[in-house]
Every structure is written in C-alpha cells, then in structure tokens.
Amino acid sequence: MECLTDIACEVGESVDRLLGYVHIANNPINFDCPQSYQDEEEGGAFDGHASSFPKDFGYGAFDGEHDVNLSSSGEQKPRILLMGLRRSGKSSIQKVVFHKMSPNETLFLESTNKIVKDDINNSSFVQFQIWDFPGQIDFFDSSFDSDMIFGGCGALVFVIDAQDDYMEALNKLNLTVTKAYKVNPNIKFEVFIHKVDGLGDDFKMESQRDIHQRATDDLADSGYDQIHLSFHLTSIYDHSIFEAFSKVVQKLIPQLPALENLLNILNTNSAIEKSFLFDVVSKIYIATDSTPVDMQSYELCCDMIDVVIDVSWIYGVKEEQDPAAFDEQSSSLIKLNNGTVLYLREVNKFLALVCILREDNFDHKGIIDYNFLCFREAIQQVFELRNKCQGNPLTNSAGSPIVNGNNIIGDRHISPTLTDELASK
C-alpha cells in the first residue's frame, strides 16, 4: 500500500501542474510566460528530421512453434485466450493485430492444431500473452488442464464466424464460458461476432441482436445468468478488430482509470476534442478520454500513425547508434479540410498520443505543447511507480498483476479517483 501512495503523490504532482495550467491558459497575460516558450522549443514541433523506425519495430517474431509450457516461463503475464470453432478466424485476428500481417495473407494460414502461445510484451503498458487454441479442442479430453488454462486467464475472446451458421458456435460458447467461469469467475468474457465485412448493415445488427439474445438465454438456462458477456462486431478487413481488441486489452490494464483521468484533464485544459493513447505497433488504444469513441475518429488516428511510420521509415535519418527513431522529438500535424487538426506526439518508445481538435484552438499550440509535456511526465511517473512496485510480490517485473492458480492475486488498482484525491493534497 505504501507503494501506491508513492505513485499517487507523484502522479498527483503532474496532475497539479496540468490543473495549474488552466490558470495560465485562461489568462492571456501569462500566455507568453518564458516557460511555455522554452517548452515549446524543447517539445519540438516536427523538425523535418523524423528518423526511421527500425525494421524490427514490432513485437518480435511470432513464436508459432512455441508449445505452452508454464513451468518454463518464470513469471506469468495476464493471458488472453482466443477460442472458437475451426476457421472462425482466431489466428487471423492475432496475426493481423499483433504481427502486421495483411488481411489477404490470412487466406493462406493453416489450421492451428495445438495451443500456440504468443508473448506481447514490448510495450510498457501492453503486457500479456495470447493463447490461440485449435478450433477442435475438446474440454473433456483428459489432457485439457482447465485449472491451468483458465486459472491465470484475464480475458477469454470467443470468436464466432458471422458468415456461417452460428448455432454450433453458440453451443460451444456456452460450454466454454461455463467451464471457464467455474474455474475462474474473474475472467472477462468477450464475444467477437467476426467476419462482418461480408454482411449488410441490417443483417449485421440483426445477427448481433440474435447472438446476444441466444447466448444470454443459454447462460440463464444453465443457471449462469451472473456471467457477463461483451459483444463486438469485428472484421480483419477494417479497423473494427483493432477497436475491439483495444477494449479487451484496456480491461487488463490496472492503471486505466489514472490514464483516462490524465487524458480528460489534458483535453479540458487544451481544448482538445478527442485524444487516444496508442500502442504504436499494434494501433490498439490503451486509453482514451471519457467522451464516446466514434469509429471514424479512431480510423483517422490509426491512419495518422501509419503515415508517420511510413514517412519516418522512408525519409528518416538512420542513426547507426540508435536505430530506434520514434524518439521524443517525433511528432506530426495534419490539417484536414474540415477545420480539424490531428496532432501526434510521442509519449514513450511504444506509446503515442493522438489528438483531434479544432483548427482555431490549435492557435495556442504553445499551451498544448506545454500541457502535453506535463501529461507525458505524469505517464512517465505512472511507469516509475509501477517499477517501484517491482519488489512487491504481488506484481511482476512489468508491474502487471501476477496471476496465479484460480485467482488474480496481484490485481492492484490505482483508484479511479486517485488523481482527484492527489490533486487535492
């Protein structure tokens, strides 16, 4: 608990600075205070020297042949299980979201015949394992160790092929969810109604309604109406799969409420309409402010990340010593023809902040940049706090909760009101 207090204090200081800036922002006399000019120079508008991304910028090689072997992995990260019938699209989702495979290439993927484990751990906040299960897995097989498999699971993603008859999938969903829940009631159950690219809008909504209804009725019939299922319409051919995975991953980030609070404060004080904190490699957003997400904004921000990566990669200056070119000077500004500005700033090696704001409000770029620096510092402090907890037996070296047996034993949360509490200290 002491450790959390430290975190709170440190995050609180940065929040105080952000809050303090409201004052400056509202007061034009202070607008040209030396500090903001200095920060503006430091913070760096795009300087024309965007360096390249290293070729291996990513999560590393996909360990397709890696069998599940818990005993060999020293620490256990929260797990996301991908389950569903054969050919429902599980491996495609994993490859497209986390390994930059193009959707068309998934046509040539072979059927998975054993559990495939993939470590996603390069980004500081996004630390977990994905286990891709073969479609034909049999829960009643003696070799299926459900205690081990579901025990340390953070989220179970069940993929249903919406282009196919889904009755069999619904039976399997019911069987899977009830079995998993008996072992570990803390699992977040996420249902991806997948391959919706082939469906018309009406049919899409009707399928979702029908699947939702049947799945929840089946659970109630089996006496498990307390289980909550979240439904997402997904396709690897558009951004919906990234959006859905963002929501899955966010539920596994204990620091989420603190991040959301920081984004809200940043938006309020900088006249930003929407901001996303992106994991640059996967383009999943690990946090956003509390205003609703509309798909178009999310897609615009994803496209911006692609543009920045591509331009940096093609035209960037390659430095032999430090090939990692997405550095603290990385930023980008795109003005759209509808009076809106997209603004991207690097937060750390793997995270970027992408904001949408009105062009008029971007006149105060100095303030926005200053507020961004405070925001970045606060995020940094969240990391540091987490690292301070390293010695804490309830968290692993990344600060992620350690999962053990049937329960998540290290699920420590920064309280949603933490930043408020701290700011008031």
Which spans of this chain sit near ligand GTP (rule: CB under 6 A)?
Answer: 84, 86-92, 106-107, 109, 111-112, 134-135, 194-195, 197-198, 235-237
Kindly report the three-state secondary structure assignment for every residue of 85-135. CCCCCHHHHHHHHHHCCCHHHHHHCCCCCCCEEEEECCCCCCCEEEEECCC
Give the shortest CB-139-to-ligand GTP separation in angstroms.
Answer: 15
Which residue's structure tokens are 């999310």?
Answer: 298
Is the CB of 160 or the CB of 355 nearer to ligand GTP? 160
Is the CB of 175 or the CB of 307 nearer to ligand GTP? 175
Q: How many degrees, rounded to 5, is the angle at CA 310 between CA 326 and CA 303? A: 95
Is the CB of 107 or the CB of 167 nearer to ligand GTP? 107
DSSP state of 81: E
Give the shortest CB-343-to-ligand GTP separation in angstroms.
Answer: 31
Is the CB of 91 or the CB of 312 nearer to ligand GTP? 91
Is the CB of 112 or the CB of 176 nearer to ligand GTP? 112
Q: What are phi and psi of 292, to 5 degrees?
A: -65, 150
What does the alpha-carbon distance between residue 332 and residue 305 come to, in Å, rounded to a whole number?
9
Indicate left, alpha or beta for 44 from its phi (over 0: left) and psi (-120 to 50: alpha): left
Q: 3-state class of 179 per DSSP?
A: helix
Which residue's structure tokens are 């965007």?
Answer: 50
Are residues 307 and 120 in contact, defined by beta-carbon separation less than 8 angstroms?
no
Give the shortest CB-204-to-ligand GTP separation in angstroms.
Answer: 12
User: What separation in angstroms does the CA of 311 have from each of 252, 317, 340, 368?
Assistant: 32, 11, 21, 24
Give the shortest CB-82-to-ligand GTP separation in angstroms.
Answer: 8
Give the shortest CB-239-to-ligand GTP separation in angstroms.
Answer: 12
Give the shortest CB-233-to-ligand GTP separation in angstroms.
Answer: 10
DSSP state of 281: T
Give the shortest CB-418-to-ligand GTP separation in angstroms.
Answer: 38
Are residues 289 and 275 in contact, defined by beta-carbon separation less than 8 angstroms?
yes
Residues in the chain: 425
**Which single residue brings its beta carbon nearest to ligand GTP?**
135
Which residue's structure tokens are 């991207």?
Answer: 344
Give the shortest CB-130-to-ligand GTP separation in angstroms.
Answer: 12
Q: What are phi and psi of 212, to 5 degrees?
A: -55, -50
Of 75, 106, 102, 77, the closest CA to residue 90 belongs to: 106
**Residue 21 is encoded by which pair of tokens?**
């800036």
Is the CB of 57 or the CB of 98 nearer to ligand GTP? 98
407 strand-pairing partners: 404
Give the shortest CB-97-to-ligand GTP separation in angstroms.
Answer: 11
Q: What are phi and psi of 52, to 5 degrees?
A: -85, 155
Is the CB of 94 or the CB of 127 nearer to ligand GTP? 94
Indicate left, alpha or beta for 48 from its phi (over 0: left) and psi (-120 to 50: alpha): left
Is the CB of 235 or the CB of 267 nearer to ligand GTP? 235
Is the CB of 99 or the CB of 388 nearer to ligand GTP? 99
Give the shortest CB-244-to-ligand GTP separation in angstroms.
Answer: 11
Is the CB of 92 or the CB of 267 nearer to ligand GTP? 92
**Residue 294 is encoded by which pair of tokens?**
């509309």
Give the shortest CB-25-to-ligand GTP separation in angstroms.
Answer: 44
Is the CB of 50 or the CB of 120 nearer to ligand GTP? 120
Q: 3-state class of 181 per DSSP?
A: helix
DSSP state of 401: B
